Structure 1
Amino acid sequence: MQFRETLLLISVSLFCLPTLASSPLTTVIGENMSAPWYFADSGTSPKGITADYVRALANELGRKIDILVLPKFRIREYSQKNKIDLNCYTSREWAQVREADVFWSEPLFTSKNLIVSNTAAVKSLDQLKKQRIGTVLKYRYPALQDSFSAGTFLRDDSPNEDANLQKLDASRFNYAVVEEIHLAYYLKRHKSSKIQRRGLVIEEIPVRCWLRRDSPLKISELNRAIAQMKTNGTMEKIFKKYR
């Protein structure tokens, strides 16, 4: 009898192992991200660069990754309540997570923030003193935070980068902060835009994933998958698709 009970327990345990190993992970995309990072009209299946490389990452890992689309303030709440396993469009400079709660992956790519103008090209930050600068609501700009706090530069917030550039084109202000890839995508769709094609690079930030420390996925597995995607050209193909 004892042997049969032991055998049954082993059988149940072995049956359950594949289910645990393949249980879905959960990640997140901020709903205020602009195209081509995220297309707000993509419905229940998120589209854009971020969703594409998350799905490629899932394929490389051999695991299912569910993508939630949430307001920025919800991302922090879900992170604190352990409802998200990983976030793969973030950095140590941007994230509002405790270092003790997460592991950080190797960089996926580098994000460049630029200052652009609807008049002459920006040569120096000295041009911006006491000027209103288009920014995205609740976004942190590490290179400009001290100047914003001191009132040297004046923030003018928009809900997302697309709205920010539209206000710049409408001359609501003369300067804006924008991510390089979004700027290129915006100008590709708005041929008559007044915005200068080149901007002043103010920061280059490695974009990484944070991974919850108690996630079933190991950080070493995540890093291997990221390295493979960069080596085999997957990341480059995804970015090329939206250029």
Structure 2
Amino acid sequence: MRAALFCFLASLSCLPAAASPLRFIVDTSVSLPYAKFENGELKSGLSFELGVELARHLKREAKFVPVARKRIGQTLESGQADLICGYAQGWLPGPFQWSRPVAQHMELLISRADVPAPQRLSDLAGQSIGSIAGFRYVALELQLGAQFVRDDGPDAEALLRRLAAKRISHAIVSRSYLDYRRREGGFAVALHPPLVIEKMDLRCALSPKAELSLQQLDEGLTEMQTEGSLRVQH
């Protein structure tokens, strides 16, 4: 009897340990359609859906770690989280490995219709532009240099509110966010045709301390695209 119990316990010790949760950073400055927070926890949105699906393909449980934008790089580098998805390499310098594309991003400069319409980005040199605190706008930084005058708000929703209230004349938003707000009927301000600042692929940045290889991450994303749960258009 004792021998049988010993063999049973020994066999249990040889079983593989359950995989730890896959910890996704979620930027607390974003809102729907990307993320909806309730009591500080991510509950829905594109970031939630991508994380749950990716974790499922990697046979892991998804855990979401809300982080302020300015602390994302530090949190990822220190290993307090495993990855962040939906980011561009130019936004997040650091010793990270980058996955295959998960989405495309189009950054727009929008202007109210009751102010002179800029014909090119250089027309905005020296003018105040609504921007999101802690976020880098690489293309504008390169093109306008010191003439890029930021007027920071906490998130894109705040920028659209300030445009509607005529507190700012110009703002930087993503095409997907602007389209979402217009579909939902939450933004009806007349605008000039937007200027495209930049188009870029968004990827997942992998922590150097993650218990996940870049190859495993890319394989999971490839499976998602094959089955249709991930659509990246070029």
The SS at the match of 1:133 is strand
CA contact (8 A) 2:125 2:144 kept: no
1:26 equivalent in structure 2? 23
Match of 1:143 among 136, 139, 144: 139
Runs of 5+ consecutive residues of structure 1 not aligned to the other structure: 238-243
CA contact (8 A) 2:122 2:143 kept: no
The SS at the match of 1:144 is helix
**Mapped partners of 1:8, 1:73: distance in 2:** 51
**Mapped partners of 1:46, 1:68: distance in 2:** 12
1:172 equivalent in structure 2? 167
CA contact (8 A) 1:115 1:201 kept: yes
Query: Deviation per CA, 1:158-177, whole angstroms, max 9, x where unpaired?
Result: 00011011111222222111
Amino acid corresponding to residue 30 of structure 2 in structure 1: M
**Mapped partners of 2:209, 2:198: distance in 1:** 32
Matched, 1:192 2:211: no
Amino acid corresponding to residue 33 of structure 1 in structure 2: V
**Mapped partners of 1:45, 1:232: distance in 2:** 25
**Mapped partners of 1:11, 1:121: distance in 2:** 73
CA contact (8 A) 1:122 1:199 kept: no
2:14 equivalent in structure 1? 14
**Mapped partners of 1:126, 1:141: distance in 2:** 15
Higher normalized helix content (fraction of residues): 1
**Mapped partners of 2:135, 2:187: distance in 1:** 27
CA apart distance, 1:38: 1.1
**Mapped partners of 1:18, 1:232: distance in 2:** 29
Match of 1:103 among 97, 100, 114: 97
2:126 equivalent in structure 1? 130
2:91 equivalent in structure 1? 94
Match of 1:57 among 54, 59, 78: 54
Query: Deviation per CA, 1:176-212, whole angstroms, max 9, x where unpaired?
Result: 111110011122223532234x411111121111112
1:160 equivalent in structure 2? 155
**Mapped partners of 1:191, 1:164: distance in 2:** 11
What TM-score results when the alignment is normalised by the length of structure 2? 0.85
CA apart distance, 1:7: 7.0
Match of 2:204 among 200, 209, 212: 209
**Mapped partners of 2:39, 2:210: distance in 1:** 28
Matched, 1:228 2:228: no
1:240 equivalent in structure 2? none
Question: In 2 relative to 1, CA 149–8 (structure 1 residues): closer, same or farther, beyond 3 Å?
Answer: farther
What TM-score results when the alignment is normalised by the length of structure 1? 0.82
Aligned residues: 226
Q: CA RMSD in A?
A: 2.6
CA apart distance, 1:94: 0.6
**Mapped partners of 2:22, 2:56: distance in 1:** 12
Amino acid corresponding to residue 110 of structure 1 in structure 2: Q
